[in-house]
Amino acid sequence: MPNLRYVYLKNVVFSCNCKFRGLLFWLKYETKVSIINFHAQICFMNNRNVNLLDFLHENCHDYSDFKIFISTFISTLLFMTISLFHDSILWYTMYLFYTVKCWLNHRLLQGGESEQYKYDVFVSYNTSDEHWIIEELLPNLEQKGPSFYRVCIHNRDFEIGRDIVENIVDSIYKSRWTVCIITRSYLQSHWCSLEMRMATYRLIAESKDSLLLIFLDKISKEEIQCYHRLTKLLDKKTYLEWPEDSKGQELFWVRLKNKS
């Protein structure tokens, strides 16, 4: 009926039923056809007359468009989240796996303390700070006594060909202490973050102090607040700061050895 322009419904009584929702949709979007006096059309429900348009608007909601919008929005958001945080998701999955592995290793460690610990100190540091490790930390802990310490560092003591995370886990649990050398480079490293997490887990699991923090850089409290785990550690633990003057450095090594 291409020439249809007007429809006049006279003496037509509709039942109040949502099947007429399509008629409402057609009336709303079909601009070429007008239903005369449709806004006054009544329908019959519960022995009374009700305005048909009011009934359709109040009782016959079509949520299909809204459902499509919500499903599309959630799908898009999920895709964007996975795309943006793909590396983080993999990272935390790996962290969870090795946390369980740490627990198993901890449970399997038996015997006297001399059998448990191959090293006195495992040093967690970023490779950009290795010059300080080689020039300052190793000579003072390994060579200047009394109290000569067995120190584990990854570039020298990790087992060649072994998975790096396996090396980290094994070294932490074979060392009496873990010392984290905190610098800006350290805080930005995923591997250093993993080492700190593993050391923190051991701290909780063994219920004894086995973690030392050394700040090599001067890092403000505002910067530290961006690193939730470190902030929580600093609320509970004291830490050492590397001084610039020689007398302060002498005292630093005394304090470090007393702590360990």
pLDDT digits (tens, 9 = 90+) for 93-108: 666 676 676 566 656 6
Tokens 């000569």 map to which residue?
148
Q: Which among 188, 249, 244, 179 has a CA at the least distance from the CA of 213? A: 179
- How many C-beta atoms lie closer than 10 Å to residue 75's C-beta? 10
Instruction: State the Cα–Cα distance between residues 121 and 176, nearest whole angstrom.
Output: 6
Q: Which residue has the higher pLDDT, 203 or 161?
A: 161
Q: Which CATH architecture describes the domain 117-259? A: 3-Layer(aba) Sandwich (3.40)
Task: Tell me which of 5-14, 47-56, 176-185 is least confident.
Answer: 5-14
Domain ranges of the chain: 6-59, 117-259
Q: Which one-letter amino acid corresponds to residue 216? A: L
Cα dihedral across residues 213, 216, 222, 223: positive or negative: negative
Q: What is the pLDDT of residues 64-103, one digit of tens each?
A: 555 666 677 777 777 766 666 655 566 666 666 766 765 6
Do residues 9 and 35 touch, judged by C-beta distance below 8 A?
yes
| 213 — pLDDT class (breaks 50, 70, 90) | very high
Q: What is the pLDDT of residues 164-211, one digit of tens each?
A: 888 888 888 889 999 999 999 999 998 888 888 888 877 777 777 889
pLDDT for the residue numbered 112: 45
The count of C-alpha atoms lying within 13 angstroms of the C-alpha of 201, restricted to the half-sphere facing its C-beta, is: 21
pLDDT for the residue numbered 27: 62
The predicted model gives 253-257 an average pLDDT of 90
